[in-house]
Amino acid sequence: MGEKKKWYKLDFGSKTKESAASSCGCGKTSGGCGSHQGPPPQKDEYTITADEFDKAVEGTMVGETRKDGFQQVFDVKMDRRTAFRKLTASLLIGAGAVQTSCSVVAGEETKEKAQIDWEEQFKGNYKLMTQEERNATVDRLVRSYQLRKKENIKMSSTDASKDVLFGYAFNISKCQGYMDCVSACVEENNQDRNSEMQYIRIHEMKDGNGFKFDEADDNYYHEVPAEGHFYMGTQCFHCDDPPCVDVCPVQATWREEDGLVVVDYDWCIGCRYCMAACPYDGRRFNWSKPEVPEEQVNKNQHYLGNRMRKKGVMEKCTFCIQRSRSGKDPACVEACPTGARIFGNLLDPDSTIRWVLENKKVFRLKEDLGTDPKFWYFMD
């Protein structure tokens, strides 16, 4: 344990067999544990099977207090009940993990899973991680997926580039309400298929009435464009002064340097303050465990973007961070057959988004709130 880490590292012997005995997860300095060479291990008083262990982990993972690092857990004032809950949750994982790691019955894979779950349990807030720590958690998540689903995913943790500030423009006169963007977004971002979660809403509004969201229909199904109507889309506007970020009690959501407002799904406690604070209905909550059929999972993922979420966390549009950070258009822009969606770098004076802002009559939704959304509407 030479390197400095923000969490306590438990060694189950699957990775560093040759390291000092004191770093063994079972706490013993000799024998009795699978990770030591030497005398045969003691008979386990109770054995936990891999399935039971997984279930226990699963169970504790849903608990709303699980995502704190050690420091935060112990430095925080809390009542007895919460303290007990936290302790039980962590103990269960710990006990299970130690049990599994020390068991001679459990396979290498189970041990590795336990090791990953342990380290994931006590990792820090993504914002505070060093680049190595970020890479490590990405590697763990990729490996975990591989162990559990037997499929390989590609996950990145690409940072914001200098001199980039993402912005979006939406042409109200061009949108025809086909909803290709909505479908493309769901496929790209691995949203829960059971609850049919969607980041984008296309509102069908009556001509001449202005923006009346209470009278608009965002779930129409008839031939479009319908006569006497126009269409406008809403999604997360990536405000430059985002109220959702201000209200988050655990700083699980923040504004990145390139203007993207992102969520760390492993730090979110699911309080939904941000959902209430957002004036644009831009955020979505996972009321149930999100499920995507394996063959439909988009395997090109980003830590802050479309990686698989879990029950009880917030998520939202990230302007397809896994695409936009590598120079690609978001899925909605690519899917739109009308060219109503324009995306680009606001700081580049030659970009098309800048041309739109400078040459068309643009406006933003609820501009008076001062949230400074980076999503402009315009007309031909």
Partner 1 sequence: MNKLKITAFFLFGCLLINCKHKEGEYHDVIEKIEAESKKYHDILMSSEAYIGDIETIEITEGDHTFLIPERKGQIKSYACIECHSKPLSDMQDDTPTRKAHWDIKVNHADENAMNCVTCHNGNDMNHLKSLTGREIDFNLSYKLCSQCHTSQFQDWKGGAHGKNIGGWAKPRAAMTCVNCHNPHQPQIESRWPVQFNSQKARERE
**Interface ranges with partner 1 (CB under 8 A):** 161-165, 169, 171, 174, 176-180, 182-183, 194-196, 198, 218-225, 240-241, 324, 326-329, 333, 336-339, 342-349, 351-356, 359-360, 370, 372, 374, 378, 380
Q: Which two tokens stand for residue 177?
A: 């309400």
Secondary element (H or E) of residue 316:
strand 314-316
Based on CB atoms, which residue is closest to partner 1, 149 or 212?
Answer: 212
Q: Least CB distance from residue 267 to partner 1, whole Å? A: 21
> Dihedral of CA 25/22/116/286: which sign?
positive
From the centroid of its chain, how far is CA 149? Answer: 19
In order of 113, 212, 376, the CA distances from 232 in angstroms are 46, 11, 11
Based on CB atoms, which residue is closest to partner 1, 119 or 180?
Answer: 180
Residue written as tokens 């807030």? 125
In order of 126, 240, 286, 369, the CA distances from 279 in angstroms are 26, 14, 19, 9
Based on CB atoms, which residue is closest to partner 1, 3 or 196?
Answer: 196
At 110, the amino acid letter reads T
* Exposure string over 237-274, b if 16+ CB within 10 A, otherwise e: bbbbebbbbebbeeebbbbbebbbbbbbbbbbbbbebb
For residue 63, count other CB atoms closer than 10 A to its CB. Answer: 16
Q: Least CB distance from residue 172 to partner 1, whole Å? A: 12
User: What backbone torsions phi and psi does residue 205 show, to the nearest 5 degrees?
Assistant: -120, 150
Based on CB atoms, which residue is closest to partner 1, 26 or 164?
Answer: 164
Q: How far apart are CA 266 and CA 263, in angstroms?
A: 9
Based on CB atoms, which residue is closest to partner 1, 40 or 249?
Answer: 249
Which of 42, 17, 22 lies closest to 32 in space, CA to CA? 42
Q: Least CB distance from residue 322 to partner 1, whole Å? A: 13
Based on CB atoms, which residue is closest to partner 1, 93 or 200?
Answer: 200
Find out whether 237 and 166 touch, Cβ atoms under 8 Å. Answer: no
CA Rg value for the chain: 24
Based on CB atoms, which residue is closest to partner 1, 35 or 198?
Answer: 198
Q: Least CB distance from residue 290 to partner 1, whole Å? A: 13
Q: Least CB distance from residue 58 to partner 1, whole Å? A: 25
Q: Least CB distance from residue 119 to partner 1, whole Å? A: 32
Find out whether 174 and 222 touch, Cβ atoms under 8 Å. Answer: no
Based on CB atoms, which residue is closest to partner 1, 135 or 195?
Answer: 195
Based on CB atoms, which residue is closest to partner 1, 157 or 198?
Answer: 198
User: What backbone torsions phi and psi does residue 11 show, to the nearest 5 degrees?
Assistant: -100, 115
Q: Least CB distance from residue 351 to partner 1, whole Å? A: 7
Q: Least CB distance from residue 56 to partner 1, whole Å? A: 31
